[in-house]
Amino acid sequence: MSKILIFAGTIEGRSLAEELAGSGTQVHVCVATEYGEKLLPKGDNLSITSSRLNAKEMKQLMEAEQVSLVIDATHPYAVIVSENIKEACKEAETAYLRLLRDSLQSENEDIIYMESVDEAVEYLKTVEGNALLTTGSKELEKYTGVPDYKNRFYARVLSTPEVAAQCAELGFEGKNLICMQGPFSEELNYAMLKQIDAKYLVTKESGKAGGYLEKIEASHLAGAKAIVIGRPSKEEGISYSECLKLLIENYGLKTKRQITLAGIGMGSEENMTVEVAEACQGADLLIGAERILEALNKNDRPIFESYKPMEIRAYIEEHPEYKRIVIALSGDTGFYSGAKRLLEELKEYEVTVLPGISSCIYLCAALQTSWEEVRFYSIHGREENILHGIRTQEKVFTLMGGKQGMNELCRKLIEYGFHDVWLSVGERLSYPEEKITKGTPQELLEQNFSELCAVLIENPAAKNTVITPGLPDEAFIRGKVPMTKEEVRSISVAKMRLNSSSVIYDIGAGTGSVAVELALMADKGKVYAIEKKKEAVQLIEENKRKFGVDNLLVIEGTAPDAMKDLPIPTHAFIGGSTGNLRSILIQLLASNPSIRVVINAIALETVVEAVESIKALGITDAEFVQASISKAQTLGNYHMMMGQNPVYIIAFTGGSVEMKGDFHKANLCSCSDSQVSGRMEVHEDETA
């Protein structure tokens, strides 16, 4: 990039000079005073002229420095200076770019707009009360035309000896002269206005960087009217961000970008950490969902409304002018947050993650209870087996979502028998309208709750929950349907080698005793109980409700046809096959070659069918166990051991199948096309 000349009479100009010099670009900066020079950064790529130049001198400087572009970043009221810069650029045949400050004028009954200082002076002659003058020292003499100005007016000017001397000559001295370098914070402006009992604040509309917003907010809080002297003319030019984008695209400027993922807590400003608040305050661009941006964007900085990672990345790539980008996320960045996906999407950038206060921590604090023993869930746009947590944990926290979220949860708790659990529902947490409602599922069932709320569910009975397999036979609703007995069930479940996220088929599910045990173990997974008998299907549904296993789904039909449209399984238990064992095994292996299978067999014919199928399918690690269980029965004063039918338990893992040669052709001959449709073809494609 060739050398650039900046006339830097504003913060934007100084910031741009620092940005360019820091990126290795040669920059020459013109400021009017030695004081302005002191505000500029130092560096090998930056040279400075600190004196007032006329148009001829500007042209000479452009030619001497051999600049390719001139950026006019002078103050909006420096009209004559801007005209001289334009004339010099025209004479030197050098590209000219005007950098504008954003106008922040708005309709407000506490703001009075004036065209000029002269008009403001005439207005002040007609009213009473003190005024803080913040329009600078150059036009201060005009205010001396107001009667009693020495007592009524307080001038705030730059802190240089020359300026202080000029003000004293005009009669502004002592307590009526405030010499300080701005811009000033809202708090300091407010303190000054209250100290002098000001009824008016006079300012020029000099943009965000000039501290304009802080003056307006302070005057509003102090009960003073703001007299705003508008810009002298409608200027043509581009904003700071547009200027950066142009330099990046057309002049090869390289910028270092910093992206921050910020957890803003519940949403109120007071709920944010200081670190997050400072990051948002210093951002060039704020990104977030609509409700989050409403709480953050008080200073009208650029925003992009989105919560979708790919959409956010695309926008960042399209707008290289933004250096400090804050993506605001509700709650804490590590607690059911979009931060995880955003980090994956933005991995090529430098990203900082700032935590926030999570809804769980906030709600538990409001309830004066601890959260270290809480199990966490979110059913906001997610499917979770929350009933397992409620059954096994004394405290469960969940985020809610959807119009009927709370009502549906209460109905489900009642349906599954959780009548005595205690719910504390938090709505609009941290906001003035915060509301926490407590009660049982029945008490809260008909109440209205906001879509986005947080719930702490307490179940004192959970501390006695049994976590090992082997539920007593009498615990199940039976009927006349055969059931896998307790001890055999325990061995079979152990042979399954489950994990918490397993997807399991229980084929020939009977009463659902095995399916229930599997669903209790695989609390983050799914169990599909496949059963052809209507009476058995009804019993499974009843046992599902009794044991509160919401992750158990009942499929009425005969395997393997009933398996056709189900998700791919990781495990399968076969308690009954209706003579279709080989075709069932073929479809299971076609769906998942590494599936874990456990088969129960009582009849010798079933054992023979299992052995022949295992041999034909090339399974090499099959384990055969015969379980002969005897249980004592009381006969008078004696206990007699009564034997149950011996059961064969056969287990294997599909990864051991030798998939050599024409495996599929050899083993599909005994099955109909409908029994092995779809999935076998997919499997063949994957192994080709």
Closest among 182, 186, 181, 241 to 213, alpha carbons compared = 186
pLDDT at 686: 29
Q: Pinpoint the alpha helices (H) of 319-404.
A: 339-345, 359-366, 386-392
pLDDT at 102: 60
Is the pLDDT score of 65 beyond 60? Answer: yes
Closest among 366, 505, 517 to 428, alpha carbons compared = 366
The H-or-E segment that residue 203 falls in is strand 198-204
pLDDT at 688: 25
Is the pLDDT score of 233 beyond 60? Answer: no
Is the pLDDT score of 79 beyond 70? Answer: yes
Q: Is 9 helix (H, G, I), strand (E, B) or coil?
A: coil
- Average pLDDT of every residue of the chain: 87
- CATH 3.30.950.10 in the chain is located at 360-464
State mean pLDDT over 369-374. 93
- Token pair recorded at residue 108: 């407000």
Is the pLDDT score of 358 beyond 60? Answer: yes
Task: Look at strands 225-229 and 111-114 and give their pairing.
Answer: parallel
State mean pLDDT over 375-382. 88
**Amino acid identity, residue 380?**
H
Closest among 135, 107, 111 to 121, alpha carbons compared = 135
Please list, in sequence order, all residues whose beta carbon lies within 8 angstroms of the beta carbon of residue 23, skipping any fewer than 6 positions away: 253, 254, 255, 256
Is the pLDDT score of 627 beyond 90? Answer: yes
**Amino acid identity, residue 222?**
A
Q: Is residue 221 classed exposed, middle or buried when 0-12, 13-18 and 19+ CB atoms within 10 A define those classes?
A: middle
In angstroms, the CA 415 to CA 320 distance is: 55
| Whether the predicted model's global pTM rises above the 0.85 cut | no
Q: Choose between 411 and 36: higher pLDDT.
A: 411
282 phi, psi to nearest 5 deg = -95, 5
Q: Are the beta carbons of 230 and 99 closer than 8 angstroms?
A: no
In angstroms, the CA 602 to CA 648 distance is: 6
**Confidence grade of residue 403 (pLDDT, cut at 50, 70, 90):** low
Q: CA 381, 343, 331: angle at the middle one, nearest 5?
A: 50
pLDDT at 109: 65
Q: Which residues pair with 328 in a beta bridge?
A: 262
- Token pair recorded at residue 474: 């009498």
Q: Are the beta carbons of 350 and 257 closer than 8 angstroms?
A: yes
Q: Is residue 388 classed exposed, middle or buried when 0-12, 13-18 and 19+ CB atoms within 10 A define those classes?
A: buried
CA distances from 618 to 462, 548, 589, 597, 677 (A): 46, 39, 11, 14, 21
Is the pLDDT score of 500 beyond 50? Answer: yes
- CATH 3.40.50.150 in the chain is located at 473-687
Q: Are the beta carbons of 561 and 674 closer than 8 angstroms?
A: yes
pLDDT at 290: 87
What is the DSSP-derived secondary structure letter of residue 374? P
In angstroms, the CA 106 to CA 128 distance is: 25
- CATH 3.40.1010.10 in the chain is located at 256-357
**Confidence grade of residue 76 (pLDDT, cut at 50, 70, 90):** confident
Q: Are the beta carbons of 472 and 546 closer than 8 angstroms?
A: no
Q: 111-229, what's its fold?
A: Rossmann fold (3.40.50)
What is the DSSP-derived secondary structure letter of residue 100? P
pLDDT at 34: 78
pLDDT tens readout for residues 184-200:
888 999 999 999 999 99
pLDDT at 191: 95
- CATH 3.40.50.620 in the chain is located at 111-229
Find out if CATH 3.40.1010.10 is the number for domain 256-357: yes
Find out if CATH 1.20.1510.10 is the number for domain 4-98: no
Three-state helix/strand/coil letters over 281-320:
HCCCEEEECHHHHHHHCCCCCCEEECCCHHHHHHHHHHCC
Please list, in sequence order, all residues whose beta carbon lies within 8 angstroms of the beta carbon of residue 518, skipping any fewer than 6 positions away: 493, 496, 498, 502, 504, 506, 527, 571, 573
Q: Are the beta carbons of 49 and 27 closer than 8 angstroms?
A: no
Report cis status (omega within 30 of 0) of the bond before 460.
Answer: no
Q: Choose between 479 and 623: higher pLDDT.
A: 623
Is the pLDDT score of 677 beyond 50? Answer: no
- Token pair recorded at residue 425: 């529902």
pLDDT tens readout for residues 97-132:
998 866 544 545 678 888 889 999 999 999 999 999
**Confidence grade of residue 673 (pLDDT, cut at 50, 70, 90):** very low
- What superfamily does domain 360-464 belong to in CATH? Tetrapyrrole methylase, C-terminal domain (3.30.950.10)
Share of the chain above pLDDT 70, in %: 91
Residues in the chain: 688
Centre a 10 Å sphere on the Cβ of residue 541 and count the other Cβ atoms it contains: 15
**Confidence grade of residue 16 (pLDDT, cut at 50, 70, 90):** confident
Q: Is residue 50 classed exposed, middle or buried when 0-12, 13-18 and 19+ CB atoms within 10 A define those classes?
A: middle
In angstroms, the CA 235 to CA 240 distance is: 14
Is the pLDDT score of 687 beyond 60? Answer: no
Q: 50-64, 65-79, 504-518, 586-600: which range is least confident on average? A: 65-79
pLDDT at 144: 94
pLDDT tens readout for residues 635-657:
889 999 988 889 999 999 987 55
pLDDT tens readout for residues 453-493:
999 999 998 877 777 888 999 999 988 888 999 999 999 99
Centre a 10 Å sphere on the Cβ of residue 474 and count the other Cβ atoms it contains: 7
Please list, in sequence order, all residues whose beta carbon lies within 8 angstroms of the beta carbon of residue 160, skipping any fewer than 6 positions away: 35, 179
Centre a 10 Å sphere on the Cβ of residue 122 and count the other Cβ atoms it contains: 14
pLDDT at 209: 66
Is the pLDDT score of 624 beyond 60? Answer: yes
Centre a 10 Å sphere on the Cβ of residue 236 and count the other Cβ atoms it contains: 7
For 473-687, give the CATH class. Answer: alpha beta
In angstroms, the CA 205 to CA 185 distance is: 16
**Confidence grade of residue 401 (pLDDT, cut at 50, 70, 90):** confident
Is the pLDDT score of 679 beyond 50? Answer: no
State the first-to-last Cα distance of the chain, in angstroms, to the nearest integer: 55
pLDDT at 465: 77
Is the pLDDT score of 299 beyond 80? Answer: no
In angstroms, the CA 5 to CA 60 distance is: 12
pLDDT at 77: 67
String of DSSP letters for 506-562: EES-TTSHHHHHHHHH-TTSEEEEEE--HHHHHHHHHHHHHHT-TTEEEEES-TTGG
- CATH 3.40.50.20 in the chain is located at 4-98
